[in-house]
């Protein structure tokens, strides 16, 4: 069992109670329309803030310029358990465009045989105990690697990620002032089945207009693990990755914010990464992500409404966490009211059947589902999400084809419900302190 602080359990209980009250109040006839309108306004407001932030701080206006004497950089990836898919990553890292000197490092457990072929790649071999699945492997090994490496800046990629050749120049050009990390635009690679295509849309939206808006507000939530450039000294100053957090990259972003540093994003440094191709691996990844998010919110609860860290603490963090839980409330309201109506419908249906003396199975009667005024929220969410996705697609040069329409419709119409279910389970697992699956 994972140790969860008593105060954190109390906070989660309070949140659960508030969600319950929202569901209870908004399910009543007299308050249903009012609460629906409030939810629509809040969603539109948050979307409007991100869209305006994006257009007023367009990435093209940011000057990505290298200093006259570009600093030496360490380019780091990791691989273990004879992970052969990391070889294309290592090859690409040797081909990066950069006018200064950079060295490629691979953190490994000694099982990566292909490294012998690459004379210019430095191996950081660690004991196999650091690669146990019972711990956050990446956080553990990268903390050690960052102490061994002497370069002031470190470009990090995952072993299943292929960055564009210009990423180092682009990211380094934005490493100025109080910036502690710069992240790029991560896209899903080789999407074939429905689940992979949906994640392609999600990644494009997340690292497109969504990330652009947050970056413009200096409120990035995460130092994306698949592609980032980090100031090593500032990384060590904040204590590195939290090895007890399932989402060490999110934790690092909060640690930087807490210490007065910035995390920037640019859509012009791109990388493609593997995404889960089956439901089991997808669920495991997302539960890890969402439990990690919950863990991070609780760990950095003192940042909420903290004016010392600017708009991130005063507004963005509390507002968007609030929206997450509000989304859960909306979903539960839909389920509760729909289930209640179903049983009422079933009750009267059986009575009528008994009175008539026979039963007619009406399989296509969905009148017990709860839509109005829920339909208003659904239509607004779909419309705004569609707009944000289309804008984001321009960053990734992603063009939908006729054959992509079914998967895109699933993404717009259904995917959010599945994510909400995973959020609910993740928060419950965090409250109960269930064992983490890294």
| pLDDT tens-digit map of 383-409 | 887 888 888 888 888 888 888 889 998
**Banded model confidence at residue 253, pLDDT cuts 50, 70, 90:** very high
Token digits for 86?
A: 């990391």
Alpha-carbon Rg of the chain, whole angstroms?
24
Contacts of 4 (CB under 8 A, 6+ apart): 430, 431, 432, 433
Q: What pTM value is reported for the model?
A: 0.89
Name the average pLDDT for the chain: 87
The whole-number pLDDT of residue 338 equals: 76
| Candidate ranges 26-30, 43-47, 63-67, 83-87; pick with highest mean pLDDT | 83-87
DSSP string across 287-353: HHHHHHHHHHHHHTGGGTT-GGGTHIIIIIHHHHHHHHHHHHHHHHHHHHHHHHHHHHHHHHHHHHH
Please state, as a whole number, how many other Cβ atoms lie within 10 Å of the Cβ of residue 97: 11
Q: Is the pLDDT of residue 300 over 90?
A: yes
pLDDT band with cut points at 50, 70 and 90 for residue 148: very high
Residue 333, pLDDT > 80, answer no
Top-confidence residue, 29 or 101: 101
Rounded to an integer, the average pLDDT of 202-213 is 88
Give the model confidence (pLDDT) of 63-106 as tens digits. 668 888 899 999 999 999 999 999 999 999 999 999 999 999 99
Residue in this structure with the two tokens 């691979």, named with its chain if needed: 106
Average pLDDT estimate for 143-162: 96
Whether the predicted pLDDT of 375 surpasses 70: no
pLDDT at 438: 59
pLDDT digits (tens, 9 = 90+) for 238-249: 999 999 999 999
* Residue pLDDT, tens place only, 406-424: 999 899 888 988 999 999 9
């Amino acid at each position: 069992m994972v140790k969860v602080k008593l105060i954190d359990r109390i906070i989660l209980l309070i949140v659960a109670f508030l969600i319950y009250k929202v569901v209870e109040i908004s399910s009543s006839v007299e308050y249903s329309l009012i609460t629906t309108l409030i939810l629509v306004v809040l969603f539109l407001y948050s979307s409007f803030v991100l869209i305006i932030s994006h257009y007023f701080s367009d990435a093209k206006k940011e000057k990505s310029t290298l200093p006259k004497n570009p600093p030496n950089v360490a380019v780091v990836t990791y691989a273990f358990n004879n992970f052969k898919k990391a070889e294309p990553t290592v090859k690409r890292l040797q081909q990066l465009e950069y006018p200064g000197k950079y060295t490629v490092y691979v953190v490994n457990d000694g099982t990566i045989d292909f490294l012998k072929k690459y004379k210019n790649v430095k191996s950081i071999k660690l004991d196999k105990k650091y690669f146990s699945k019972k711990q956050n492997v990446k956080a553990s090994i990268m903390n050690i690697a960052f102490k061994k490496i002497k370069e002031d800046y470190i470009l990090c990629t995952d072993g299943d990620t292929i960055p564009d050749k210009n990423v180092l120049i682009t990211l380094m050009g934005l490493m100025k002032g109080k910036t502690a990390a710069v992240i790029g635009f991560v896209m899903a690679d080789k999407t074939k089945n429905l689940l992979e295509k949906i994640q392609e849309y999600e990644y494009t939206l997340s690292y497109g207009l969504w990330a652009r808006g947050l970056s413009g507000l200096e409120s990035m939530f995460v130092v994306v693990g698949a592609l980032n450039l980090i100031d090593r000294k500032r990384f060590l100053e904040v204590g590195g990755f939290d090895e007890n957090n399932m989402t060490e990259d999110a934790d690092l972003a909060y640690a930087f914010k807490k210490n007065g540093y910035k995390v920037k994003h640019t859509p012009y440094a791109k990388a493609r990464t593997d995404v889960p191709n089956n439901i089991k691996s997808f669920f495991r990844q997302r539960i890890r992500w969402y439990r990690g998010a919950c863990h991070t919110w609780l760990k950095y609860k003192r940042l909420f409404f903290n004016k010392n860290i600017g708009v991130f603490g005063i507004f963005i963090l509390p507002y968007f966490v609030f929206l997450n839980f509000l989304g859960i409330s909306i979903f539960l309201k839909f389920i509760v009211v729909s289930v209640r109506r179903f049983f009422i419908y079933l009750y009267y249906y059986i009575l009528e059947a008994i009175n008539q003396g026979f039963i007619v199975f009406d399989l296509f009667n969905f009148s017990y589902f709860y839509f109005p005024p829920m339909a208003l929220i659904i239509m607004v969410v779909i419309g705004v999400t569609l707009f944000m996705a289309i804008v984001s697609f321009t960053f990734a040069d992603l063009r939908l084809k006729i054959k992509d329409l079914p998967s895109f419709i699933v993404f717009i119409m259904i995917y959010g419900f599945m994510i909400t279910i995973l959020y609910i389970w993740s928060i419950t697992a965090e409250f109960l302190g269930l064992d983490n699956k890294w």
